[in-house]
Amino acid sequence: MSIGTHRPTVITVDGDAIRHNVAAEIAQLNPDSELFAVIKADGYGHGMTHVAKYAAEAGATGFCVAILDEALTLRAAGFQQPILVLGIVEPCYAQLIADQKISVAVGSQAWLAEAISYLKGNTVVRVHLALDTGMGRIGFQTPEELHAALDFLTGHDQQFDFEGIFTHFATADEKEQTYFETQLQRFRDFMAVVPRKPRYVHVANSATSLWHQVCDGNMIRFGVAMYGMNPSGRLLTVPRVIHPAMTLKSALVFVKKLPRGRSVSYGATYTAAADEWIGTVPIGYADGYPRCLQGFHVLINGQFCEIVGRVCMDQFMVRLPEKMPVGTEVVLVGESGSQHITMVDVAEAAGTINYEIACGFSARIPRRYVNDQKS
Ligand SMILES: *Cc1c(COP(=O)(O)O)cnc(C)c1O
Are 212 and 273 within one domain?
no
Quick one: 202 and 291 in the same domain? no
> What ligand 1 atom has the least distance to the C-alpha of 66?
15
Question: Using a 6 Å cutoff on CB, does residue 38 contact ligand 1?
Answer: yes
Q: Mark whether 323 is an active-site residue.
A: no
Three-state secondary structure call for residue 131: strand
Q: What atom in ligand 1 is closest to the CA of residue 355? A: 8
In angstroms, what CA-CA distances link 255 with 252, 260, 320, 336?
A: 7, 16, 9, 20
Domain that holds residue 305: 246-341
Looking at the fold, whether 27 and 132 belong to one and the same domain comes out as: yes
* Helical H segments across the chain, by residue range: 15-28, 40-44, 48-57, 68-76, 94-99, 109-116, 143-155, 178-191, 206-211, 343-350, 354-360
Contact 339, 265 (CB under 8 A): no
Say if residue 157 is in the same domain as residue 184.
yes
d(C-alpha 187, C-alpha 209), whole Å: 16
Pair (218, 258) in one structural domain:
no
Nearest 5 degrees, angle CA 12-CA 352-CA 5?
25
Neighbours of 297 (CB within 10 A): 18
Does 362 fall in a domain? Answer: no
CA of 205 to the centre of ligand 1 (A): 5
> Are residues 204 and 94 both part of a single domain?
yes
Out of 18, 46, 64, mutate this one to test ligand 1's pocket (max ligand atoms within 8 Å of CB): namely 64
d(CA 44, CA 53): 15
Helices 109-116 & 143-155 angle (0-180, nearest 10): 20
| CATH of residue 115 | 3.20.20.10
Among 227, 254, 269, where does a domain finish?
227
221 lines ligand 1 (CB under 6 A): yes
Do 203 and 250 sit in the same domain of this protein?
Answer: no
Which amino acid residue places its CA nearest to atom 15 of ligand 1?
A: 86
Interatomic CA distance for residues 80 and 94, integer angstroms: 19
All residues at 6 or more sequence positions from 146 whose CB lies less than 8 Å from its CB, including other chains: 129, 131, 140, 190, 193, 194
The reported pLDDT for the residue numbered 122 is 81
Kindly list the distances between the CA atom of residue 135 and the CA atoms of 36, 132, 162, 318, in Å, as whole numbers in the listed order: 20, 6, 22, 42
Is 86's C-beta closer than 6 angstroms to any atom of ligand 1?
yes
CATH code for the domain of 262 = 2.40.37.10
CA–CA dist 44, 225 (Å, integer): 11
Find the length of the chain.
375
Is 77 within a domain?
Answer: yes
Could you tell me if residue 336 is inside a domain?
A: yes
CB 305 within 8 A of CB 321: yes
Instruction: Tell me, in angstroms, the distance from the centre of ligand 1 to residue 197's CA.
Output: 22
Catalytic residue among 40, 54, 270, 369: 40
Best CA proximity match to 323, nearest among 346, 355, 300: 300
**Which residues are 15's β-sheet partners?**
none
Query: Computed over its alpha carbons, how large is the radius of gyration of the chain?
Result: 24
Compute the distance between CA of residue 53 and CA of residue 255 in angstroms, rounded to an integer.
41
Catalytic residue, candidates 257, 266, 323, 374: 266
| Ligand 1 centroid distance, CA of 271 (Å) | 44
Residue 335 located in a structural domain: yes
In a shared domain, residues 158 and 113: yes
Contact 195, 220 (CB under 8 A): no
Helix (H) or strand (E) holding 228: none
**Same domain? 197 vs 57:** yes
38 CA: nearest ligand 1 atom: 4
Domain boundary among 163, 194, 227: 227
Half-sphere exposure of residue 208, counting CA atoms within 13 Å on the CB side?
Answer: 24
Whether residue 74 is contained in a domain is answered as: yes
Going residue by residue through the chain, which has 375 residues, state the pLDDT in tens, using 9 for 90 and above.
Answer: 999 999 999 999 999 999 999 999 999 999 999 999 999 999 999 999 999 999 999 999 999 999 999 999 999 999 999 999 999 999 999 999 999 999 999 999 999 999 999 999 788 999 999 999 999 999 999 999 999 999 999 999 999 999 999 999 999 999 999 999 999 999 999 999 999 999 999 999 999 999 997 678 999 999 999 999 999 999 999 999 999 999 999 999 999 999 999 999 999 999 999 999 999 999 999 999 999 999 999 999 999 999 999 999 999 999 999 999 999 999 999 999 999 999 999 999 999 999 999 999 999 999 999 999 998
C-beta separation of 36 from 219 below 8 A: yes
Atom of ligand 1 nearest to the CA of 44: 8
Closest residue to atom 10 of ligand 1, CA basis:
205
Q: What is the largest CA-CA distance in the chain?
A: 79
164 shares its domain with 260: no
Count of structural domains, the chain: 2
Q: Whose CA is closest to atom 11 on ligand 1?
A: 205
Instruction: Answer yes or no: do 180 and 34 share one domain.
Output: yes
Residue 303 falls inside a structural domain: yes
Q: Is residue 350 part of a domain?
A: no
Nearest alpha-carbon partner for 54 in 239, 238, 227: 227
In a domain, residue 368? The reply is: no
Residue 101: active-site member: no
Q: Both 152 and 289 in a single domain?
A: no
Residues 6+ apart with CB under 8 A from 349: 292, 293, 295, 296
Q: Report the distance separating Cα 83 and Cα 126, nearest Å.
A: 10
> What is the distance in A from the centroid of ligand 1 to the CA of 221?
6
Going by their DSSP bridges, the two strands 297-300 and 303-308 should be labelled as antiparallel
Helices (H), 137-284: 143-155, 178-191, 206-211
Q: Cα(82) to centroid of ligand 1, in Å?
A: 16
**CB atoms near residue 190 (< 10 Å):** 23
User: Running DSSP on this structure, what letter comes out for residue 140?
Assistant: B
Backbone dihedral angles phi then psi of residue 28, each to the nearest 5 degrees: -90, -10
